[in-house]
């Protein structure tokens, strides 16, 4: 039987387990990616593990999230990260260079390799034929220490593309079409692999757009083949030697099949406040907008700015619109300057920001109250923009720009000028020297970590108790994102290296009494959270598990979990269970007391738990889905304890 690209990549890196869907497997990780908002924790974790030097082929650290320097906290963290990169042998990308995902693709993307990143959008690198997966920081720290990465063998979802995209429709509309069809959890337990003749109209950066937002579908990763187009891209980056061909066999099989005729796709928009809330733009056209925002890892390519530049050339954006331009990388910005695109954007009324994540993560550019913001970013979870009751919509650069010109949501096909034709440049400006290479091992050993006053040592956690008798402190609905558990934004992100401080913001969007109530019961055994489906969707931020754990969270019972958050809970010693009978979710109330006994023995002897609701004198059934390795981690009180023992044993 012929193999697909995803299985070939897994096979070539498999170090533990069998490639049977649903079974835990371990793969070797060739490269890692960390960004500043999660990277400070990763570096502290490496320190806690007493690692001398990373054992990957490439590990790279980017400063792209915490760019606002309103006080010394963020710049202190930048210096800490730079020192940690020197200490552990990691490449360092300084603030202003750009967003990790396009930068990694430009500088290190290599077909056939694996990449693990402490950012949920790491799968973007699937654009160049890599198997790239997002994970919590601790998992990435383990990979940097040379340990395998463990996950469940996914279903491979083959999506055959035929036809070609019509004028005014681009890669973003294709991934929005996938979200329209399948929603925010449709990719759970799957790797998406695109193939077929339709690939011919998608550049490597277009593929990046699609792979990036596979994360919004809940997919483990997205892969594309490494074909002639990837070779062209690497040639442009001066790295053609890194190209290998990696194609699915002609008779390749897939676990799940789907076909999309690209010529049938129309401009789409994800309405507030979920990437899965997709509609045709024409159905909501005419609504007044406040902001139109270009940039982020979801639309980082040259064409994602050059097409808008051509659209506004010689025109002015509507007087009522804030037209925010967020270049994704320094190189792309330089090329846009060379090709006279930036001047068109500036002249038409654009507000130019530095290369980085910026408003995508709520670092500035928050929209006004009750006003619509159209963005080319990957996600629009409630409050993520920095405005509590925000109305953020996800669109293509074409729709964002058409709407900026008109001052209202506009289907670009209704404009009275032709669709600009932009090709990816064959000779982009390269500026790789901006990446700081790691020093020699000797020099590394003489480097001290430079910790500013904002860096707090990691909290330590005890082994998991045998019995818990705790209160349900919070009951939440379907699809709670990590942005709602542990908000991002300019107020909160500077505390990413300080768990006690950041925990004060936990769940504040949903219930701002959570933190104080949690502290009150922390010494009485802690608390539980009850959740519905897809709990913890979105970001990889381990703070969404670590901060509640610090506040005493021991147990989450949900109808279902998002992959990365589920793993993060285990990594920090929180037991995730699912309801055997989902009706029990309805019967539970905030304030109920839950009791679980004999936990160690039960975890080891099967998958079922009887949970006693002592407030209602009733019981219900729940199950765990932990592998023997994960049980060990949980019982030790989390991955830091487990890893320290393991690495120490290995000497
Ligand atoms: C995001 O887009 O939500 C982030 C910010 O990039 C996160 C990482 C983080 O929370 O630091 C992600 O996607 O994992």
Would you list the DSSP string of 413-458? GGSSSPPP-----SS----GGGEEPP--HHHHHTPPP---TT-PPP
Do 392 and 496 reside in the same domain of the chain?
no
What residue owns the CA closest to ligand 1's atom 9?
541
What residue owns the CA closest to ligand 1's atom 1?
539
pLDDT value at residue 651? 57
Do 221 and 310 reside in the same domain of the chain?
no
Contact of 63 with 81, CB cutoff 8 Å: yes
Do 222 and 292 reside in the same domain of the chain?
no
Q: Report the C-alpha gap between 313 and 347 in whole angstroms.
A: 8
Q: Which strands sit side by side in the sheet containing 221-223, from one edge to the other? A: 221-223, 190-195, 155-162, 256-261
CA 122 / ligand 1 centre spacing (Å): 10
Residue 451 lies in a domain: no
CA 294 / ligand 1 centre spacing (Å): 18
Do 252 and 383 reside in the same domain of the chain?
no
Phi then psi for residue 416, to 5 deg, are -100, 30
CA 353 / ligand 1 centre spacing (Å): 19
Give the residue from 5, 228, 24, 257 showing the smallest Cα distance to 131.
5
Do 196 and 134 reside in the same domain of the chain?
yes
CA 181 / ligand 1 centre spacing (Å): 24
CA 137 / ligand 1 centre spacing (Å): 11
Residue 452 lies in a domain: no
Mutate to test the pocket of ligand 1, among 32, 36, 38, 537 (most ligand atoms within 8 A of CB): 38
Residue 430 lies in a domain: no
Mutate to test the pocket of ligand 1, among 364, 541, 564, 565 (most ligand atoms within 8 A of CB): 541
Residue 428 lies in a domain: no
Burial of 241 (C-beta count, 10 Å sphere; 0-12/13-18/19+): exposed
What lies within 8 Å, CB to CB, of 520 at 6+ separation is none
What residue owns the CA closest to ligand 1's atom 2?
539
Do 206 and 320 reside in the same domain of the chain?
no
Last residue of a domain, one of 381, 396, 412: 412
Atom of ligand 1 minimally distant from the CA of 488: 10
Do 501 and 534 reside in the same domain of the chain?
yes
- Three-state SS string over 250-306 comes to CCECCCEEEEEEHHHCCCEEECCCCCCCEEEHHHHCCCECCEEEEECCCCCCHHHHH
Give how far Cα 387 sits from Cα of 170, 328, 377, Å. Answer: 29, 23, 16
Do 289 and 235 reside in the same domain of the chain?
no
Over residues 383-425, the pLDDT tens digits come to 999 999 999 999 999 999 999 999 999 999 999 999 999 988 9
pLDDT value at residue 457? 81
Query: By three-state DSSP, how is residue 124 classified?
Result: helix
Residue 309 lies in a domain: yes
CA 271 / ligand 1 centre spacing (Å): 20
Q: Report the C-alpha gap between 537 and 562 in whole angstroms.
A: 5
Burial of 53 (C-beta count, 10 Å sphere; 0-12/13-18/19+): middle
Do 348 and 497 reside in the same domain of the chain?
no
Give the residue from 131, 75, 299 showing the smallest Cα distance to 207.
299
CA 119 / ligand 1 centre spacing (Å): 5
Ligand 1 pocket list (CB less than 6 A): 37-38, 65, 119-121, 134, 361, 488, 538-541
Residue 617 lies in a domain: yes
Strand partners, 593: 471
Q: Which residues of the chain have pLDDT under 50?
A: none
Last residue of a domain, one of 264, 286, 305: 264
Question: What are the DSSP calls for 460-512, one per residue?
Answer: --PPPPS-EEEEEEEE--TT-BHHHHS--STTTGGGTT-HHHHGGGTTTTT-T
Do 372 and 328 reside in the same domain of the chain?
yes
What residue owns the CA closest to ligand 1's atom 4?
539
Range of the domain at 128: 5-264
What residue owns the CA closest to ligand 1's atom 12?
539
CA 563 / ligand 1 centre spacing (Å): 15
Residue 431 lies in a domain: no
CATH of the domain at 381: 3.30.499.10
Contact of 353 with 384, CB cutoff 8 Å: no
Residue 457 lies in a domain: no
pLDDT value at residue 438? 98
Q: Report the C-alpha gap between 220 and 251 in whole angstroms.
A: 24
Do 293 and 259 reside in the same domain of the chain?
no
What residue owns the CA closest to ligand 1's atom 7?
539
CATH of the domain at 532: 3.20.19.10
Last residue of a domain, one of 217, 237, 264: 264
Contact of 298 with 170, CB cutoff 8 Å: no
The domain total for the chain is: 3
Do 341 and 486 reside in the same domain of the chain?
no
pLDDT value at residue 309? 98
């Amino acid at each position: 039987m012929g193999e697909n690209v995803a299985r070939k990549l897994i096979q070539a890196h498999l170090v533990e387990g069998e490639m049977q869907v649903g079974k835990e497997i371990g793969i070797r990780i060739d490269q890692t990616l960390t960004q500043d908002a999660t990277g400070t924790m990763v570096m502290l974790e490496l320190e806690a593990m007493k690692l001398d030097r990373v054992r990957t082929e490439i590990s790279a650290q980017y400063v792209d999230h915490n760019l606002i320097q309103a006080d010394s906290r963020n710049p202190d963290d930048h210096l800490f990260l730079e020192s940690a990169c020197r200490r552990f042998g990691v490449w360092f990308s300084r603030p202003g260079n750009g967003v990790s995902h396009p930068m990694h693709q430009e500088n290190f993307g290599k077909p056939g390799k694996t990449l693990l990143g402490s950012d949920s959008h790491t799968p973007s690198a699937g654009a160049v034929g890599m198997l790239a997966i997002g994970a919590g920081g601790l998992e990435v720290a383990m990979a940097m220490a040379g340990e395998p990465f463990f996950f469940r063998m996914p279903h491979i979802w083959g999506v055959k593309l035929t036809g070609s995209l019509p004028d005014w429709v681009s890669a973003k509309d294709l991934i929005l079409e996938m979200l329209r069809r399948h929603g925010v959890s449709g990719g759970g337990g799957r790797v998406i692999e695109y193939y077929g003749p339709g690939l011919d109209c998608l550049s490597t950066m277009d593929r990046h757009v699609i792979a990036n937002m596979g994360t919004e579908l809940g997919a483990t990763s997205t892969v594309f083949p490494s074909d002639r187009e990837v070779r062209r891209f690497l040639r442009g980056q001066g790295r053609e030697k890194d190209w290998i061909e990696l194609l699915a066999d002609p008779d390749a099989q897939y676990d799940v099949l789907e076909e999309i005729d690209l010529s049938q796709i129309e401009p789409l928009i994800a309405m507030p406040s979920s990437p899965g809330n997709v509609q045709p733009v024409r159905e909501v056209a005419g609504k007044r907008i406040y902001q139109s925002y270009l940039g982020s890892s979801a639309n980082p390519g040259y064409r994602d700015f050059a097409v808008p530049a051509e659209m506004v050339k010689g025109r002015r954006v509507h007087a009522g619109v804030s037209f925010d331009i967020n270049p994704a990388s320094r190189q792309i910005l330089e090329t846009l300057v060379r090709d006279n695109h930036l001047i068109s954007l500036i002249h038409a009324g654009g507000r130019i920001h530095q290369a980085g994540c910026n408003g995508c993560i709520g670092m500035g550019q928050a929209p006004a109250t009750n006003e619509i913001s159209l963005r080319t970013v990957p996600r629009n979870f409630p409050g993520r923009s920095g405005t509590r009751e925000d109305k953020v919509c996800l669109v293509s650069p074409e729709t964002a720009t058409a709407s900026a010109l008109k001052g209202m949501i506009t289907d670009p096909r209704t404009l009275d000028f032709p669709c600009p034709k932009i090709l990816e440049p064959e000779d982009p400006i390269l500026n790789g020297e901006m990446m700081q290479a790691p020093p020699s091992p000797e020099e590394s050993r003489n480097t001290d970590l430079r910790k500013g006053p904002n860096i707090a040592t990691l909290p330590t956690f005890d082994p998991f108790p045998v019995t818990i008798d705790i209160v349900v402190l919070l009951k939440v609905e379907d699809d709670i994102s990590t942005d709602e558990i542990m908000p991002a934004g300019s107020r909160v992100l500077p505390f990413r290296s300080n768990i006690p401080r950041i925990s004060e913001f936990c769940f504040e969007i949903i219930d701002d009494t959570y933190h104080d109530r949690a502290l009150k019961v922390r010494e009485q055994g802690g608390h539980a959270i009850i959740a519905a489906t897809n709990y913890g969707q979105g970001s990889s931020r381990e703070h969404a598990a670590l901060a509640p754990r610090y506040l005493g969270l021991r147990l989450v019972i949900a109808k279902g979990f998002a992959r990365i958050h589920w793993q993060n809970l285990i990594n920090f010693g929180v037991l995730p269970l699912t309801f055997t009978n989902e009706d029990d979710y309805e019967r539970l109330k905030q304030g109920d007391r839950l009791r679980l006994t004999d936990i160690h023995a039960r975890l080891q002897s099967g998958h079922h738990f009887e949970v006693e609701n002592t407030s209602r004198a009733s019981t219900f059934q729940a199950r765990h889905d932990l592998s023997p390795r994960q049980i060990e981690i949980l019982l030790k009180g989390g991955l830091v304890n487990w890893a320290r023992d393991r690495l120490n044993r290995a000497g």
